[in-house]
Amino acid sequence: MNLPTADDRNSPPSASAAALSIAVIEGSSGYRRVLTSYIQTAWPDAKIEAIDPYSQTMRGAGIVFGTQCDVMVLGGIGTRAEAMSALARLRANAQSADTTPEAQPTTPPPLILLVSPELASQAEQLRAAGAAAVLHKDALSRQSLIDAIATATRTAQAPSTGAGADFGKFTFAVDGEQVALAIERFACVKTLASNAMSQVFLAERLADGKRVVIKVPVANPYHDATGVQRFCDRYQFIQGLDGDGVVRYVDVGIAGSWPYVVLEHLSAGDLRQRMAAGLTTAQALTIIERLAISLATFHGGQFAHMDVKPENIFFRDDDVVLIDFNISTRFGNVARNRETQEVLGSPFYMSPEQGQGLPADHRSDLYSAGVILYEMLTGNRPYAGDNSAQVIYKHLHEEIPLLPKRIRDLQPLIDHLLAKSPDERYGTASAFALALRPWLAKYAGDSSDSAPVKSTY
């Protein structure tokens, strides 16, 4: 069991900091959005002003430093001259506020600089010149950002972490080009998955060797406004669940062009492994009930997972844990690649409406749960084909298959879950979990149910 420590769960530093006023000054709207999202999970009640220093409709670059706030986070610092100029202007604005002889000296708000890698070696000099903290813009962990803000607003002293922290190297190819990212606090152990949507790594925390999973959603760079908004929405919601039915976030950050997530390592394995080992009917029903409970929690945020399959269902001891929210969408939206317009998801587990590229909601996930239940009970998927198009066609048009006679009494569950129309399925995941109870009780005491059914997929 790999339960994170309280520190891993990224608890807000202090309730007394709830009224913080924070200015986030950065030229990239996507980067600003990600920073704001990360800060809001620590201080939900903070007032955050996101400022584009180059916008003609907002503040000019020279006026920004007159902003009244508790702390400033300034990105886009590429050279020492830019950093020193920003610190000088901040001091000048504070001094110009003293307009009368009796005025008390004004202290400028602490300034956290997000700098280019080239400035890393000069972090100490920049702190000596007045920076509250100096962090890597292209290798920024949320934890370091939160630590810097918390320390700056309490004591105006630089935190122990920052540009001098340790970084691991993570390499992969994107569109045929090799990419090397620096990620703070973690070292790569091996690549777990690599595709056009995301890069997934097994990693170790440099401080103590704790194993984690790091996921870089390369299909959603932070300059993609729609993609980054979806990433931030999902992150803030899932972070708030604190591992209740979903994988826990150990940390998040920005590396190169992408926001990334650091996830707990669920060493108990996934459902595909358990299905390969074989499941009794009672075990299958217990797992599907726990999946229903996890889905009910996830659906509470008005999100549909859209890729519920055995490979995305893991275990924390015996608790069912959902992972991989790359294509999760708000209810009523479509899981579709915006560039190619291809439907996203796994055809074998895809609902009819998802296969047609229609708006979907929680009932699409219930259909996927029905496919999984059928496979756990029989060892076979309800619909097969030589290609994705054939499988999707069968989801749309073929009759719902019958269960073997020995478990035919469970057919009503399958019929409701695999109904072609969402309106004919269970109304909610909670309703489905409730409907399972009579069969759970029956098969829990059935001594004849002792032969595990194995899936060979």
Q: How far apart are CA 259 and CA 240, in angstroms?
A: 18
* Overall number of domains in the chain: 3
- Tracing tokens 């998955």 back to the chain, one arrives at 193
Query: Quick one: three-class SS letters along the chain?
Result: CCCCCCCCCCCCCCHHHCCCEEEEECCCHHHHHHHHHHHHHHCCCCEEEEECCCCCCCCCCCCHHHCCCCEEEEEEECCHHHHHHHHHHHHHHHHHCCCCCCCCCCCCCCEEEEECHHHHHHHHHHHHCCCCEEEECCEEEHHHHHHHHHHHHHHCCCCCCCCCCCEEEEEEEECCEEEEEEEECEEEEEEEEECCCCEEEEEEECCCCCEEEEEECCCCCCCCHHHHHHHHHHHHHHHHHCCCCECCEEEEEEECCEEEEEEECCCCCEHHHHHHHCECHHHHHHHHHHHHHHHHHHHCCCEECCCCCHHHEEEECCEEEECCCCCCEECCECCECCCCCCECCCHHHCCHHHHCCCCECHHHHHHHHHHHHHHHHHCCCCCCCCCHHHHHHHHHHCCCCCCCHHHHHHHHHHHHHCCCCHHHCCCCHHHHHHHHHHHHHHHHCCCCCCCCECCCC
Q: How far apart are the C-alpha atoms of 196 and 107, rounded to whole Å?
A: 49
Same domain as 378, residue 301: yes
pTM of the model: 0.86
Residue 119 within a domain: yes
pLDDT digits (tens, 9 = 90+) for 285-314: 999 999 999 999 999 999 999 999 999 999
Is 6 contained in some domain?
no
Residues 6+ apart with CB under 8 A from 62: 89
Range of the domain at 258: 166-265
CA quadruple 293, 298, 301, 303: dihedral sign? negative
In a domain, 1, yes or no: no
Do 276 and 406 fall within a single domain?
yes
Strand partners, 134: 113
Same domain, 96 and 212: no
Q: Is residue 306 part of a domain?
A: yes
The predicted structure's pLDDT at residue 101:
53
Query: Do 314 and 437 reside in the same domain of the chain?
Result: yes
**Statement to judge: residues 225 and 138 lie in one domain:** no
Indicate if 382 and 411 belong to the same structural domain. Answer: yes
Residue where a domain terminates, one of 140, 164, 188 = 164
Residue 184 contacts residue 165 (beta carbons within 8 Å): yes
CB 71 within 8 A of CB 157: no
In a domain, 76, yes or no: yes
What is the pLDDT at residue 61? 44
Tell whether 282 and 427 lie within a shared domain.
yes
Tell me what pLDDT residue 6 has.
37
Instruction: Say which CATH number the domain at 420 has.
Output: 1.10.510.10
Q: How far apart are CA 267 and CA 25, in angstroms?
A: 40
Strand partners, 171: 180
Residues 234 and 259 in one domain: yes
Instruction: Kindly state whether residue 333 falls inside one of the protein's structural domains.
Output: yes
pLDDT at 382: 97
Q: Are residues 28 and 81 in the same domain?
A: yes
Q: Which residues of the chain have pLDDT under 70?
A: 1-18, 56-67, 93-106, 155-165, 338-341, 447-450
Q: Is 454 within the bounds of a domain?
A: no
Same domain, 129 and 197: no
Q: Is residue 455 part of a domain?
A: no
- Summarised one tens digit per residue, pLDDT across range 361-416 is 999 999 999 999 999 999 999 999 999 999 999 999 999 999 999 999 999 999 99
Residue 102: the pLDDT is 55
Question: With 0-12 CB in 10 A as exposed, 13-18 as middle and 19+ as buried, what is 155?
Answer: exposed
Listed residues 236, 265, 294: the one ending a domain: 265
Which residues have CB under 8 Å from 409's CB, separation 6+? 439
Burial of residue 61 (number of CB atoms within 10 Å: 0-12, 13-18, 19+): middle
Q: Does residue 421 share a domain with residue 353?
A: yes
Same domain, 51 and 81: yes
Here the CATH number for the domain that contains residue 109 is 3.40.50.2300
CA distance 65 to 375: 61
CATH of the domain at 176: 3.30.200.20
Distance of alpha carbon 128 from alpha carbon 218, whole angstroms: 37
User: What pLDDT sits at residue 157?
Assistant: 46
Q: Which of 265, 291, 318 is the last residue of a domain?
A: 265
